[in-house]
Structure 1
């Protein structure tokens, strides 16, 4: 398996993977809209030894109480069904957060399975006075500090970019 940055020739494979993995095409449409609107901060793929895209992770900017602090939202993350349970998703997250930290992005937020994301170092955002703009269970909205002390002094509403509104 190889983890690398998305290249233009991956777009159709990523789109097909997202449509295969998720129940609706909403996530595929979201990723396409984020790309088109210049909201892609980082997009990585995991590819098989044969070169097929088997995993994908995408990050886009979020704001905290209307301020852009360089924070990123992780969405979506997916792994092809036949390859699940092999640690590919966790490896994608680890590689991505290392890259984001190297680039100076201080914090990542995610909305998802708390047990899964906790393994990657995420904690409940509410512990830091942060909340999501959608009515979701508190334990599902999580945060990870990539650069030391980046969460200090930041509380309030975390808002995703406009294309996310189409999901609700």
Structure 2
């Protein structure tokens, strides 16, 4: 298995993985649209010994109160069913966080299960007076600061690309 930054040849494998991993085609269509619009800041894949995509995580820009502050949102994260439970999702997320930190990004937002993302270091966004526009997501909306000072003086609305509204 190899974990690396996605390359164009991975697109079909990513699409297939997303279609199999989620109950609808929404995530697959989202990633396609983000890619088409140049809005994937970073995509990380896990491939098997034959180059097949068995895991994927995407990061795309988010705004804070309409301002660009070098923050990204993590979505989606997918692991092929037969590889789940072995830590591959965690490895993908950490690889992405390390790369984003090296590139100078400030923080990562995620809307996901706190039981999964909490142990990875994500913190409840509401604790920092941050929110997203989707209702009833306070406990699931989380932040991972990539730099100590990235949350200083920051509060308000974290805005994802309008493409996320179509999911």
Q: CA RMSD in A?
A: 0.7
- The answer on 1:74 being equivalent to 2:74 is yes
Deviation at 1:52, TM superposition (A): 1.4
Q: Could you give the per-residue CA deviations for residues 48-94 of structure 1, whole angstroms, max 9, x where no partner exists?
A: 12321100000000001111101000000010000000000000011
Deviation at 1:35, TM superposition (A): 0.6
SS in 2 for 1:138: coil
Query: 5+ residue gaps in structure 1?
Result: none
Deviation at 1:136, TM superposition (A): 2.8
Could you tell me how far apart the structure 2 residues matched to 1:47 and 1:127 are?
36
* TM-score, normalised via structure 2 length: 0.98
Corresponding residue number in structure 1 for 2:118: 118
* TM-score, normalised via structure 1 length: 0.97
Corresponding residue number in structure 2 for 1:28: 28
Task: Spell out the pairing of 1:39-118 with structure 2 (5 A cutoff).
Answer: 39-118=39-118
SS in 2 for 1:70: strand
Corresponding residue number in structure 2 for 1:38: 38
Deviation at 1:147, TM superposition (A): 1.3
Could you tell me how far apart the structure 2 residues matched to 1:56 and 1:71 are?
20
Could you tell me how far apart the structure 2 residues matched to 1:21 and 1:136 are?
24
Deviation at 1:148, TM superposition (A): 1.7
SS in 1 for 2:165: helix
SS in 1 for 2:46: strand
Could you tell me how far apart the structure 2 residues matched to 1:136 and 1:76 are?
19
Query: 5+ residue gaps in structure 2?
Result: none
Could you tell me how far apart the structure 1 residues matched to 2:136 and 2:16 are?
28
* 2:107 and 2:145 in contact (8 A); partners too: yes
* 2:111 and 2:137 in contact (8 A); partners too: no
Deviation at 1:39, TM superposition (A): 0.5
